[in-house]
Structure 1
Amino acid sequence: MKTKHIIYMIFFALIAFASCKKDSFLNRSPLSDISPQNFFKNESDLQVYCNQYYSGPNLPVQNFVNQDDDSDDKANLSMNSFLAGTYTVPTTGGQWDFGFIRTCNFFLANYSRATIGDDIKNIYVGETLFFRANDFWKKVKTFGDVPYVNKYITDTSKSVLYGTRMPHKQVMDSVLKDLNFAVAHLPVEAADGRLNKYCALALKARVCLWEGTYRKYFGVGDEATYLQQATDAAEQIMNSGQFDIYSTGKPQTDYYNLFIQDELKGNPEAIMPMRYLTTVLTNNFDRQLGEAGDGYSKDFARSFLCTDGKPTSLSPLYKGDNTPDDEATNRDPRYKQQIATRGFDFLNGDLITLPRIGTSVTSTGYQPIKGRSSSLAAWNASQSTFDVFIFRYAETLLIEAEAKAELGLCTQTVLDNTINKLRDRVGMPHMVIATLVKDPRSDFPALPVLIDEIRRERRIELGAEGFRFDDLHRWHAGTLINNPETVLGMKLTPALRAQYPADQVGSIVVDANNYIRVYPGFTRTWSDKLYLYPLPIQELTLNPNLKQNPGW
């Protein structure tokens, strides 16, 4: 029987290890009063220590709540300060926190004390390096060059503590080394719901695609190694026979239903899910999604293909957007499975007839419904037990397709084994290399059409899963934020406006073409400084060897 990896919040005895005081650059206060000599004795001790990694932000749980609000996919009621240009340099914090790295390094400095075999020890070293690699990768995405510390820091380690930032490429080479160790030493099947080999491969594929394309499109070189590592990792997952695309043969509902399941245990698409259970661990995601004031942008809505596999600019099936019904007709079935359209059950029989503009439900008229159900039980505050993904097999297939295309190795067979499996779930025509035609409205007019369309497929399949800003970053494509349609909503013609209560839509502002202006009088203007966040003022003051990121 196929074993799927289930993750849930682990309650652990030694929470003190994770509670370092955050008072300076590398959080130098002691991890615990427990002596390493008296603790790291056996496998149980190693496991208990590593339990803390599985909590908090260390696992990239995809809950859909306000995800991608920092991208061209969304225009939330609350303007994103980073894209608005109003984000200011923080005094402290600002994600510049090395406490978790220190927690990992403390383990690596002491685990060898355990009187067990190296094969068992290396499982927990693999877990530690998985989480350390992920944390350093997040820091590189956020700040670029960062100090790389791979040993436990004491108060006497001043030269390391106040050192300079290591170049991005060197940090990422070390991240890859950590991931390779995790892949080599984590078990294929892990006990007690812990990390396994495929989780490490999924993270490696994700990280290597990001780094490979970053190196290519920022012109820093050496991208081929990472792109090849991304496809190698993806193919190990694909060739394992453990995973598949979830489908029950219902293309109009399967994609939507994938994200409102009480139990992802045994779901073939779940490489690594976060599991929620009544009376054990619940969440509030469903209710938050119903009250988020969130909205997909016009730009995102336009990116869905028509049912003939052609973009709206080329398809004779496109009926225009004068009404929400017209716009949703003859579109990729994922349109209606991500955007609330007529007939969607908002809550226990409360059916959508018109997009709920002028309320706190949605900002643009394109209301996100991924992970949002009509269940009263899930609506109850913090009582939802819908499981969510950490690593989803669909992402692995998209990584394989994109990495192969960037290497110039994407054949029709590659597409049939990746993109077209996703299209089969929703009944869309296959992507066929020989018949691809460049979209006149492409966001990437200079790119080969194959890479362009793979990027579109990624955008649609992974909508609201939190990948979009990272994608714009690695593609060096931040200027897409300048597209006026990224802050526009649906078309609100006078005839459509008249169908709403006047007091509900009276304050809604539209542009000259009747598209909702989410932020009247404001347009986004991209600055290249936004590829990186600023370092906090306190860190620059404490460590004169650190320099602020460009533009901040």
Structure 2
Amino acid sequence: MTRKHTLYICTLFLLLTACKREDFLDRFPQDAISEPTFFKNENDLKLYLNQFYDALPVQRGNSEANSDNFAQSSRDVFLAGEYVVPATDNNWNYAAWANIRNVNYFLQRYDRAQMDGTVKNYYVAEARFFRAMFYWDKVKRYGAVPWLSRDLTDTSSAILYGPRQPHKQVMDSVLADLNYAVANAAEGSNTQFRGRITKDVANALKARICLWEGTFRKYQAMGDETPYLRAAADAAEAVMNTGRYSIWKTGNPTKDYYNLFIQEELRGNPEAILARRYIKDISMHNLTRQISDIWPALTKDFVRSFLDKNGVPTALSPLYRGDETLDNELIDRDPRFTQIIATRGFVVTANPGGNNDVVSLPRIPGVVTGYAAAKNYSPDPAQWNANQSTLDLFIFRYAETLLIFAEAKAELGEGSQAVIDRTINEIRSRVNMAPMVIAALVRDPQSKFPGIPVLLDEIRRERRIELVGDGFRFDDLLRWKAGTLINNAETILGMKLTPALRAQYPANQVSNVIVDGNFYIRVYNNITSRTWNDKLYLYPLPTNELTLNPALLPQNPNW
């Protein structure tokens, strides 16, 4: 059996298994797909596309170990410079291309369905939405990749063994898919498509991808960035102008940010453009248990980035009390500080009768930096059972869309106070933090980005705080060409553990904790900093695939 035959059979098998939860196997032969009897009606299109929804990236508060925001006990191999070119890679092998092949399979056959043409196009828009998302993931990881516009058959060798297409060419095709999805998807107000890909969701993805691509082209000196930055701003504003979304708040600024991420039901939450719903005994997850087992550890570098409550950098703030203790650090800071970090009084376990387990000292050991990330952590013991958490998770959150609009407009030179009031200041209003006033901004002496306008610098800071843990930070470092931020020694340091504070812990809990000369916790005993290498802007292609298909050469730079 040839490799091409094997691929085709695998594709058919995936088609069979993808829809089994929707009773597909009750209506069609179980041993093969009968093409003449499939793709005949709307239900067939919907059931087929359901297979791709599990690939939508949920936002989890512990998703950024590969960045300068977190330092876990196990070093990230890639950022540590210890990653070697693999023989195989689950992100490149044939299974990894299955989703793209299966989308193309749909796009070549959907038109058989006998149904209203407008409704049919809703599902075509879904398919092209997913193809755009899948290809963007490939480009972020590998740069140039083959563009597959049809499914693989016995005569597909030109595609199967074809060369990689340039980054910009592939992303222009991604943008074409996004534009089609936005133009043809169901309206966000269409209740029949609630929970599916609508025009609002398509615009949210378009805004996310176009901001990434526009800034990547700009800071990686590729050129042609302006159309993407404009597309990002326009797509984000299209979501904003629907009037269907807003920043969720209940008037409790000391709890609302934290509480946003531990909700049983995000359907109807005005901040949820699209959320993954979890229901008892039907679909559940393990995130709360994961956090309770190994608390995500925020870095000193991240914690320094919090402004004071008036929006002033700590290096310039008369309110800043220093970092001798965590109790000092939180005083008069951005109110999200104590909703992101488990500080004194944070409820770890909500016990019956109100006898709660609360934080009295920073959680070491168990948190290698002392800064325990509390985002998505529920104190409800019912959420700790293995694989039984029913807390909903965001896929597209309105706050991210606002941040995209603010950044894209600033990159275009259009970052006015009106833009900031619609975006950054709306987000800050949740926690009653002082609004950003462009005319009053002063460059932070400890800025991570001294070479860019102060407004962009502060928008990037706001994004870092609001979206911490959601999985965006490494992508941000790539698109800003800011990998060298990994070199900062404080990206692998924790809080201060002075002799006075150490004495408050049982000796056996802190005896193995190493500190540097200034008493900051050292996470890794054998290094004092990491060293970024520019080859890390792309992953290497696996050697087996390069051997089988020399048209994929050359290997990515310096691998």
TM-score per shorter chain, which class?
A: over 0.9
Superposed CA deviations along residues 344-381 of structure 1, whole A, max 9, x for unmatched, are: 0112211101111123xx11011010010110111122
Superposed CA deviations along residues 129-164 of structure 1, whole A, max 9, x for unmatched, are: 011100000000000000011112213221221111
**Aligned: 1:83 with 2:82:** no
Q: Hey, what does 1:131 align to over in structure 2?
A: 130
Q: Secondary structure at the match of 2:108?
A: helix
Q: Hey, what does 2:15 align to over in structure 1?
A: 17
Q: Where does 1:117-156 land on structure 2 (aligned, <5 Å)?
A: 117-156=116-155
Q: Hey, what does 1:331 align to over in structure 2?
A: 333
Q: Hey, what does 2:246 align to over in structure 1?
A: 244
Figure out how many residues of one structure are paired with residues of the other and give that number: 524
2: distance between equivalents of 1:290 and 1:530? 31
1: distance between equivalents of 2:514 and 2:490? 14
Q: Where does 1:66-465 land on structure 2 (aligned, <5 Å)?
A: 67-96=63-92, 97-188=96-187, 189-191=190-192, 193-348=195-350, 349-359=356-366, 362-465=367-470
Q: Secondary structure at the match of 1:271?
A: strand
2: distance between equivalents of 1:311 and 1:109? 55
Contact kept? 1:283, 1:382, Cα under 8 Å: yes
Q: Where does 1:527-546 land on structure 2 (aligned, <5 Å)?
A: 527-546=533-552
Q: Which moved more, 1:404-413 or 1:287-296?
A: 287-296
Structure 1 294/172 Cα, relative in aligned 2: closer, same or farther at 3 Å?
same
Q: Secondary structure at the match of 2:500?
A: helix
Structure 1 141/16 Cα, relative in aligned 2: closer, same or farther at 3 Å?
closer
* Amino acid in the other structure paired with 2:282: V
Superposed CA deviations along residues 269-300 of structure 1, whole A, max 9, x for unmatched, are: 00001111112211111111111242000000
* Amino acid in the other structure paired with 2:394: F
Q: Hey, what does 1:468 align to over in structure 2?
A: 473
Q: Hey, what does 2:557 align to over in structure 1?
A: 550
> Once the 2 structures are TM-superposed, how far is the Cα of residue 18 of structure 1 from its aligned partner?
6.8
Contact kept? 2:410, 2:456, Cα under 8 Å: yes
Q: Secondary structure at the match of 2:338?
A: coil
Q: Secondary structure at the match of 1:136?
A: helix
**Aligned: 1:62 with 2:59:** yes
* Amino acid in the other structure paired with 2:506: P
Structure 1 121/32 Cα, relative in aligned 2: closer, same or farther at 3 Å?
farther
2: distance between equivalents of 1:203 and 1:247? 24
How high is the sequence identity, in percent, across the aligned residues?
58
Q: Hey, what does 1:8 align to over in structure 2?
A: none
* Amino acid in the other structure paired with 1:519: Y
Structure 1 251/122 Cα, relative in aligned 2: closer, same or farther at 3 Å?
same
* Amino acid in the other structure paired with 2:80: A
* Amino acid in the other structure paired with 2:65: D
Structure 1 263/475 Cα, relative in aligned 2: closer, same or farther at 3 Å?
same
1: distance between equivalents of 2:185 and 2:411? 29
> Once the 2 structures are TM-superposed, how far is the Cα of residue 384 of structure 1 from its aligned partner?
1.4
* Amino acid in the other structure paired with 2:474: F
Q: Hey, what does 2:24 align to over in structure 1?
A: none
Contact kept? 2:16, 2:32, Cα under 8 Å: no
Q: Which moved more, 1:127-136 or 1:348-357?
A: 348-357
Q: Which moved more, 1:34-43 or 1:458-467?
A: 34-43
Contact kept? 2:16, 2:33, Cα under 8 Å: no
2: distance between equivalents of 1:19 and 1:143? 29
Runs of 5+ unmatched residues, structure 1: 1-13, 21-30
1: distance between equivalents of 2:83 and 2:35? 42
Runs of 5+ unmatched residues, structure 2: 1-11, 19-29, 351-355
> Once the 2 structures are TM-superposed, how far is the Cα of residue 117 of structure 1 from its aligned partner?
2.8
1: distance between equivalents of 2:327 and 2:411? 37
Q: Which runs of 4+ in 1 moved over 3 A?
A: none
* Amino acid in the other structure paired with 1:542: L
2: distance between equivalents of 1:51 and 1:99? 15
2: distance between equivalents of 1:16 and 1:454? 43
2: distance between equivalents of 1:190 and 1:123? 13
Q: Hey, what does 2:36 align to over in structure 1?
A: 37
> Once the 2 structures are TM-superposed, how far is the Cα of residue 235 of structure 1 from its aligned partner?
0.7
Q: Hey, what does 1:520 align to over in structure 2?
A: 525
> Once the 2 structures are TM-superposed, how far is the Cα of residue 53 of structure 1 from its aligned partner?
1.1
How big is the alpha-carbon RMSD for the aligned residues of Structure 1 and Structure 2? 1.5
Q: Hey, what does 1:11 align to over in structure 2?
A: none
2: distance between equivalents of 1:541 and 1:118? 45
Structure 1 19/90 Cα, relative in aligned 2: closer, same or farther at 3 Å?
farther
* Amino acid in the other structure paired with 1:111: Y
Contact kept? 1:338, 1:370, Cα under 8 Å: yes
> Once the 2 structures are TM-superposed, how far is the Cα of residue 534 of structure 1 from its aligned partner?
1.1
Q: Which moved more, 1:314-323 or 1:41-50?
A: 41-50
> Once the 2 structures are TM-superposed, how far is the Cα of residue 475 of structure 1 from its aligned partner?
0.2
2: distance between equivalents of 1:257 and 1:291? 20
